[in-house]
Amino acid sequence: MKIQRTLPPTAAPIPLKHLLRAPIGLFSGVKYRDQLKEDLKDRFSAHAVFLLSSGKAALTLILKALAAGSRRRRVVIPAYTCFSVPSAIVKAGLEVVLCDVDPETLDFKFDELESLVDDDVLCVLSTHLFGLTADVARTKGLCGDHGIVVVEDAAQAMGAQSGLDQAGTMGDVAFFSLGRGKNLTSGTGGIILSFSSAITELMETEYRQVPEPPVRDTIFNWIETALMKVFIHPGLYWFPTGLPFLGLGETKFYTDFPIFRMDELRACLLQDWSDRLDQTNRARRATAHRLMEDLGLGRWDVRTSAISESAYLRLPLLMRDRSAKESACKRSREVGAGISPNYPTTVQNIPQLADRIAVRPVPG
Instruction: State pLDDT tens for residues 17-35.
Output: 999 988 887 777 668 999 9
Read off the amino acid at residue 192. Answer: I
Same domain? For 158 and 39 the reply is yes
Residue 99 pairs with which residues in a beta bridge?
Answer: 78
Same domain? For 30 and 178 the reply is yes
**Residue 73 counted as domain residue:** yes
Based on its alpha-carbon atoms, the radius of gyration of the chain, rounded to whole angstroms, reads 20
Query: What's residue 29's pLDDT?
Result: 65
**Residue 251 predicted with pLDDT over 90:** no
Query: What's residue 306's pLDDT?
Result: 44
Across the chain, mean pLDDT equals 92
**Residue 65 counted as domain residue:** yes
> Which segments of 247-358 are extended strands (E)?
none
Average of per-residue pLDDT across 41-48: 97
Same domain? For 88 and 190 the reply is yes
Contact 58, 190 (CB under 8 A): yes
Largest CA distance in the chain: 58
Query: What's residue 247's pLDDT?
Result: 80
Question: Within a 10 A sphere around the Cβ of 60, how many other Cβ atoms?
Answer: 27
Same domain? For 209 and 308 the reply is no
Read off the amino acid at residue 196. Answer: S
Same domain? For 205 and 289 the reply is no
**Residue 308 predicted with pLDDT over 80:** no
- CA–CA gap between residue 218 and residue 175 (Å, rounded): 21
Q: What percent of the chain clears pLDDT 90, i.e. is strictly above it?
A: 77
Q: What is the pLDDT of residues 118-143, one digit of tens each?
A: 999 999 999 999 999 999 999 999 99
Same domain? For 196 and 280 the reply is no
* Nearest to 91, CA basis, from 122, 53, 60, 55: 60
- Write phi, then psi, for 336 (nearest 5 degrees): 70, 40
What sign for the dihedral angle of Cα 108, 114, 115, 118? positive
Sorting pLDDT into bands at 50, 70 and 90, what band is 234? very high
Query: What's residue 298's pLDDT?
Result: 60
Same domain? For 34 and 181 the reply is yes
Average of per-residue pLDDT across 216-229: 94
Same domain? For 119 and 207 the reply is yes
**Residue 237 counted as domain residue:** no
**Residue 231 counted as domain residue:** no
> Which segments of 237-308 are extended strands (E)?
none
Average of per-residue pLDDT across 175-195: 95
> Which segments of the chain are extended strands (E)?
48-52, 74-78, 95-99, 121-127, 149-153, 161-162, 165-166, 173-177, 190-194
CATH number of the domain bearing residue 206: 3.40.640.10
* Nearest to 136, CA basis, from 106, 159, 162, 102: 162
Residue 124 pairs with which residues in a beta bridge?
Answer: 76, 150
**Residue 254 predicted with pLDDT over 80:** yes
**Residue 101 predicted with pLDDT over 50:** yes
Same domain? For 137 and 56 the reply is yes
Q: Which helix (H) or strand (E) holds 221?
A: helix 215-231
Domain hosting residue 109, numbered range: 25-213+346-353
Query: What's residue 179's pLDDT?
Result: 94
Query: What's residue 304's pLDDT?
Result: 45
Q: Which helix (H) or strand (E) holds 326?
A: helix 322-335
Query: What's residue 55's pLDDT?
Result: 97
- Dihedral-angle region of residue 240 (phi above 0 means left; psi in -120 to 50 means alpha; beta otherwise): alpha
Same domain? For 316 and 177 the reply is no
**Residue 184 predicted with pLDDT over 90:** yes
Same domain? For 287 and 209 the reply is no
Number of domains forming the structure of the chain: 2
**Residue 266 counted as domain residue:** no
Residue 285: exposure state from Cβ atoms within 10 A (0-12, 13-18, ≥19): buried
Query: What's residue 220's pLDDT?
Result: 94
Sorting pLDDT into bands at 50, 70 and 90, what band is 302? very low
Task: Name the pTM for this structure.
Answer: 0.95
Q: Cβ neighbours of residue 327 under 8 Å, at least 6 residues apart?
A: none
**Residue 7 counted as domain residue:** no
- CA–CA gap between residue 340 and residue 317 (Å, rounded): 11
- CA–CA gap between residue 40 and residue 159 (Å, rounded): 12
**Residue 225 counted as domain residue:** no
Query: What's residue 248's pLDDT?
Result: 80
Q: What is the pLDDT of residues 276-289, one digit of tens each?
A: 999 999 999 999 88
Same domain? For 143 and 33 the reply is yes
**Residue 264 counted as domain residue:** no
